[in-house]
Structure 1
Amino acid sequence: MGAIISEPQRPQVGSVRTLPLAKVLLVDDHALFAQGLAGLMHQEGLAESVTTVATVESAADLLAHDDGFELVLLDIALHGETGLALLPRLASHRETPPVVIISSSEDESTVRAARAAGASGFLAKSAGRSALVTMVRAVIRGEGYFPGGVRPLTQQLPLTPRQMDVLVLLAQGFPNKRICQSLDLTEHTVKTHLKAIFSQLGVHNRTECVNLARVQGWL
């Protein structure tokens, strides 16, 4: 499915690197919701142009060839795949825009998984206009926006970024083969990362690993 670009209906106002953002990428497979959110971004003066795609693959390809996006709004559930799979694919980019997860689910484990994966914020689909505006303003200032309000984006974990990628997918129930596919890693590499994570936590199986990682606040 090709990208759908929702263009602004009024001339540009403001200056460089301030609101409205020049380009925003919205990754969502529900067309009506995506159109509505794009419209709100324009109406509230948050974005000049909103490009909408429906899959992680389309988003990754677009971001690989266009470095002009200043914000990514990412649905967590996309046609049976997790939107969080996009974040590890951005790790190799020299500069990546902040990514905010949008989701109809606001449970604690989902929010923690989003933050652990490297998202800059989390916005429930049930949120109102004021929350949307507050989130965008916070994120472009370099702050995090999660349920409970604006928080500093600081997180000191004894795992490498790639190990965190593996842990996040493990917590979502991905078998090794799907982790390999999502992160473009060999099975040997995934097993090596899992061994390092198990060692760090002092556990012996996947269930213990995920449970203790949540207790520790890593997820």
Structure 2
Amino acid sequence: MIRIYLAEDQSILQSALSQLLDLEDDLTIVGAADNGNNAWEDIQTLKPDVAVLDIEMPEMTGLDVADQIHTSDLSTKVIILTTFAQRVYFERAVKAEVAGYLLKDSPSDELIETIRQVMDGLTRYSPELVINMVSSEQNPLTKRELAVLEAASDGMSSKEIATALFLSVGTVRNYLSAIFSKLGVHSRMEAVKIAKKNKWLS
């Protein structure tokens, strides 16, 4: 069972999301809040598997909470919900290593699928939020993701990358999936092209 904490300051939306997620056999809501401060306090105590956070809330924003979870090294995965695609928000989300970054008007099935995917170690960013957000000013890839992509640019297979970087093949695939999601692409070739264009890879 995946334990979910929900933070959303619009009570109607919070109630609708809670009911929707609780309908799934493998998902359960363990807590909810309408402001970031209460959410952060609850998350430290409840230690949910996934925290679904509205980006704009009173007292602490969803990104403030995500920052706290990241710096405190909690195992809770974070999925951010936002209304608008703003570069400053995107960059903070990447820095906080949030696992999911979705638009509020995304289909409900997309949120449910994303929750399951992040529990499998994947990263899911809405393509609409990624488009025009990636630039040479802000590299969204972690050092390990860059190492995997650099190896891929040399033509290595997933197995060869795993051997070279002392990782499992499954972990390499997860890194590649995260890279594709962050860059809004569907192949290694496209990812390498963007990385080289922005001089993230030589």
Q: State the TM-score bracket (shorter-chain normalisation).
A: 0.5 to 0.7
Residue 80 of structure 1, CA deviation: 6.7
1:38–1:50 CA contact under 8 A, matched in 2: no
Asked if 1:59 is matched to 2:46, the reply is: no
**1:101 alignment partner, SS class:** strand
Alignment of 1:76-87 (within 5 A): 76-79=55-58, 81-87=60-66
**1:57 alignment partner, SS class:** helix
2:21 is aligned to 41
Q: One-letter code of the match for 2:120?
A: R
CA distance, structure 2, for counterparts of residue 84 and residue 127 of structure 1: 19
Alignment of 1:122-201 (within 5 A): 122-148=101-127, 155-156=142-143
**1:78 alignment partner, SS class:** coil
**2:143 alignment partner, SS class:** coil
1:111–1:146 CA contact under 8 A, matched in 2: no
Q: One-letter code of the match for 1:100?
A: I
What fraction of aligned residue pairs are identical, expressed as a percent?
18
Residue 115 of structure 1, CA deviation: 1.9
**2:25 alignment partner, SS class:** coil
- In the superposition, the TM-score normalised over structure 1's length comes to 0.54
Alignment of 1:70-81 (within 5 A): 70-79=49-58, 81=60
Residue 36 of structure 1, CA deviation: 0.6
Which one of 11, 14, 32 corresponds to residue 12 of structure 2?
32
Residue 96 of structure 1, CA deviation: 2.6
**More helix, by proportion:** 2
CA distance, structure 2, for counterparts of residue 80 and residue 92 of structure 1: 19
- In the superposition, the TM-score normalised over structure 2's length comes to 0.58
CA distance, structure 1, for counterparts of residue 107 and residue 31 of structure 2: 21
Deviations 1:14-64 (A, max 9, x none): xxxxxx41x211111111001111111122335223411122211121122
2:79–2:101 CA contact under 8 A, matched in 1: yes
1:54–1:78 CA contact under 8 A, matched in 2: yes
Residue 81 of structure 1, CA deviation: 4.5
**1:77 alignment partner, SS class:** coil
Figure out how many residues of one structure are paired with residues of the other and give that number. Answer: 137
CA distance, structure 1, for counterparts of residue 103 and residue 58 of structure 2: 18
CA RMSD of aligned residues (A): 2.9
CA distance, structure 1, for counterparts of residue 21 and residue 110 of structure 2: 12
**1:118 alignment partner, SS class:** coil
1:103–1:125 CA contact under 8 A, matched in 2: yes
Structure 1, unaligned stretches of length 5 or more?
A: 1-19, 158-214
1:64–1:93 CA contact under 8 A, matched in 2: no
